[in-house]
Chains A and B, each alone.
Chain A
Amino acid sequence: MLDSLLALPRSLWESLLERLFFLPPFPESIDSLALFSLLLVIGLLIGEWLHARVGWPKVIGYVLAGTVFGPSLLGWISIEALAQARPIADAALGLLMMEVGRRLDISWLGRNPELLRSTLGDIVLSFALIFLFALWVVGLTPAWAAATAAVTMASAPAVVLLTIDEYKAQGQVTERVILHTAISSAASFVAFAIVLGIVHAEQNEGWLNALAHPLWVAAGALLIAGLTSRMALAIARLLPKRSLAQVFVLIACALLAVGIGRMLAVPVFLTLFLMGVLLATHDPQQTLRYTQLPEGHWLLAIVLFVVVGASLPWQNFTWLTGLQALGLLAVRAIAKTAALALAGGSLPMPKRLLVGMGIQPLSATAVFMAYEIASLYPEIGSSTLALPLFAAAIMELAGPALCRQALKKSGECESGTPETGGIA
């Protein structure tokens, strides 16, 4: 049908080609960048429509656009286009991870024992229950069960931040959702580095890779984060606080870290998260403390979530994996809500449970971490990591809604009807 539609323009083009020698041959396919840009606009429109009509977080619309037009369904976004967009997605994820790192206030844990209990509970219970589920119920090997637990134990910083931003939420539930998300992300990154070693040990004869790779990842991320955060602070100190120039320095240094991380095969999300933490904790003069990312990070977020949506392997979906993924999510939800419920403290139980609900999102980082491990052992990893990928796929759609519901029920969203126009 498409060919018959194109027949007339093709013949017109070819007749022109005889006289206009500069014309290229009739384009057989749409340029991938042009197509991707179109899809971004479609993603944006779906996100805005869902937000305005149904009140859903915009992120869901972006993921839906990626899923529908990606390789798994319509195939309009090709694997090549996805690869081309990956640097932009990495930059978007990196900036959001840096922002979460900058918001991690570890000193709060020292001032509030209940938070220490709940965060430790979240980390330990989430990892342990998911590991046991993957090992005993799904039947994965210990190493791959640990890998599954490492990538899915954390909440999704990007989703949480964007949802909070979108609904302009403020309050104890909001603040605690951010803290739990940041700390569980940090714990997940540590677990991820250790699991890399375990996976290597299981797959290879020698111990060299098992020891060297986690070290490479951890030390590399720390080194890049340390250098780029120092560089950002040193330059920013010369500029007025909160100036546009400081914003530029912050973003430029973050992108530099993304670039170096990609070059050295060090996970971007880990590097940028550490950079954010260092920027927050090693800034005695508060040089960059108040410098915020511009609203434009929403544009990058669209790219990120369209790419994530398109990366989800729905073509490999089976009912068994789907059920297993649901089981994993149920176990994870139990772990997180139990950790919050059992921690006690001054925040009333209903609000603690809302924190537990707000930290359910699982997304971009888990997807990228899963692909990171799977790429090392494609013959085994891609099938074994289907479980966390499907769990992430389900939560890509359900997670933002759960987070938004938690914020709304806590009464911490800005009152008034949501804006129907604009991006953020």
Chain B
Amino acid sequence: MSSTPLGEFTDSAALTLGVELELQLVSRRDFDLTRGATDLIGSLDYDGRYGEIKLEITESMIEISTQPQATVDGIAADLGGLRETLRHHSQRNNIGICGGGTHPFHRWPERRICPGERFDDLYQRYGYLAKQFTVFGQHIHVGCTSADDAIWLTQALGVYVPAFIALSASSPFVDGVDSFFQSARLNAVSAFPLSGQCPPLAGWADFVEHFSFLQACGIAQSIKDLYWDVRPKPEFGTVEIRVCDTPLTIEQAVALAALAQSLARWLLRTRPELQTAKQLHVARYNKFQACRYGMAAMISDPIALAQQPMQEILKALFETLADDARELGCEHWLKALRHGIADEAGDAAWLRAKQQEHGNLNDVVREATERLMPPPSKPSAENS
């Protein structure tokens, strides 16, 4: 391991998981985004047993993150605990909380950057993009036993970015209108100069060299400047999948973590040959397809020189991962995720259906808050 501005790569137990969810803080009066993050976090009476609850870049967002867990059930328990903690504190402060990749109708100029040196620095560096970055994603960390494995897995997972986008898509509305995208959130991320995918790298040493090059060019100062779809996280010893929209339910977030863990296990076990350079040629196209059409996307295969429907890719993927999921004890979560493969069953479709039903987006967000935090006695039916 080399000592660079990246720091040492902290080896972690294989396939351990961590999940981060960025959540929306909304007013219970009209369900528009509200500035409440500092007050909410400031009033927390919480011992941190399920993980962290912290500020994100604007005052209308918070981020929850689980403890590192060996199993998906552990992640489910942590997210459940965090949800109950948030339920208690948000009710005390009369703030609504919901998932979804974008707030359907907020006005980004009204957002305010959270206090803090890092947030202020981001605002100074990126200007209005920082406020437009009021979008909400799920990040999934998968533990790697070595830095070289992490770089290999970063590239291997790149191929499956469209699958994660399609399965988590929950941001069809932007600025009060239907964007026609299933996930419009990633368009906000794409505006950042270092967004995209990891280039072909032979291993950790290669990555360190690549990063040093970026640093020498004055482009990146820390790993946080790389807004890659999948990136290594040396300090945690993980690979971080960053393309998912925050789902509308905790259960869907857990199911996506199950997919990440099963997929990582299968990849590391079978070690398919990487074609990162070729994949890079189609990566942006495939990502657009997944964002725009979700399950109806046509995904380009640069090896077979053909296109394939997303639904078929996903069906085949779930078949492939069945054994690994069973070994990991998370096959029940994957089963729930498979229901989302049907064309109109995802979170984006749910949001559009609610918009059709109510004829306005305030009610859509109101129902989304109830969907993220159903009353304790009532399980969230749609994902069971």
A: residues with CB less than 8 A from B are 103, 105, 108, 111-112, 168, 170-172, 175, 240-242, 286, 289-290, 292, 346-348, 351, 411-412, 414-415
Contacts and interface: CB of A to CB of B under 8 A. Distances in A.
A292 B30 CA distance: 10
- Per CB-CB distance, the 3 closest pairs between chain A and chain B, nearest first, are A346-B43, A172-B39, A170-B35
Contacts of B358: 241
A170 B363 contact: no
A112 B89 CA distance: 10
B289 to A, nearest CB: 34
A111 B360 contact: no
B94 A286 contact: no
Interface of B (DSSP majority class): loop
Interface string B22-62: 00000111110011101100110100000000000000000
A112 B360 contact: no
Given A112-B94, A172-B36, A290-B362, 4 more contacts: A241-B359, A241-B363, A286-B363, A411-B115
Contact of A170 (B34, B92, B94, B359): B34
A348 B359 CA distance: 40
A170 B39 CA distance: 11
Interface of B: 27-31, 34-36, 38-39, 42-43, 45, 89, 91-94, 110, 112, 115, 358-360, 362-363, 366
A111 B359 contact: no
Given A241-B360, A347-B43, A414 B110 contact: yes
A111 B91 contact: yes
Contact of B94 (A111, A241, A289, A292): A111
A286 B35 contact: no
A415 B112 contact: yes
Contacts of B363: 241, 286, 290
Nearest to A179: B94
Contacts of B43: 172, 346-347
Contacts of A111: 91-92, 94
B263 to A, nearest CB: 41
A290 B93 contact: no
Interface of A (DSSP majority class): loop
A240 B362 CA distance: 13
A159 B35 CA distance: 22
Given A111-B94, A175-B94, A242 B362 contact: yes
A125 B89 CA distance: 28
Contacts of B366: 286
Nearest to A280: B29
Nearest to B43: A346
B112 A414 contact: yes
A90 B31 CA distance: 31
28 contacts: A105-B94, A108-B94, A112-B91, A112-B94, A168-B110, A170-B34, A170-B35, A170-B36, A172-B36, A172-B43, A175-B94, A241-B360, A241-B362, A241-B363, A242-B362, A286-B362, A289-B30, A290-B30, A290-B360, A290-B362, A290-B363, A346-B45, A348-B42, A351-B39, A411-B38, A412-B35, A414-B110, A415-B112
Contacts of B27: 170
Contacts of B115: 411
Contacts of A241: 358-360, 362-363
A196 B34 CA distance: 41
A290 B363 CA distance: 9
Contacts of A171: 35-36, 38-39
Contacts of A347: 39, 43
